[in-house]
Amino acid sequence: MSQTSQPELLTFEKACEYCGARLEVSSVAMHSEPRHYHFVCPQCSKDYEISSFAPPRVRVLAGRTDGRTGPYQQTMF
């Protein structure tokens, strides 16, 4: 058995809940405890939280589909 010390790249696709854009989120798996990281949808700025080993990188695979142009707005009131 050979052990690899190469970090493993974890990639998953996610559809933005707000604008419908398809996002590819990639992160590196390391031998440590996962932490919570935030990332934002590049199309509408809605933020998400994931459990990961390193700060995630986000790439847009397909643009937003909601027809809106404004950013996601948190309900603050």
CB closer to Zn ion out of 21 and 25: 21
CB closer to Zn ion out of 8 and 17: 17
Q: How far is the CB of 36 from Zn ion (least distance, A)?
A: 20
Q: How far is the CB of 41 from Zn ion (least distance, A)?
A: 3
DSSP letters, 44-55, are T--EEEEEESS-
Phi, psi of 44 (to 5 degrees): -135, 0
Q: How far is the CB of 19 from Zn ion (least distance, A)?
A: 3
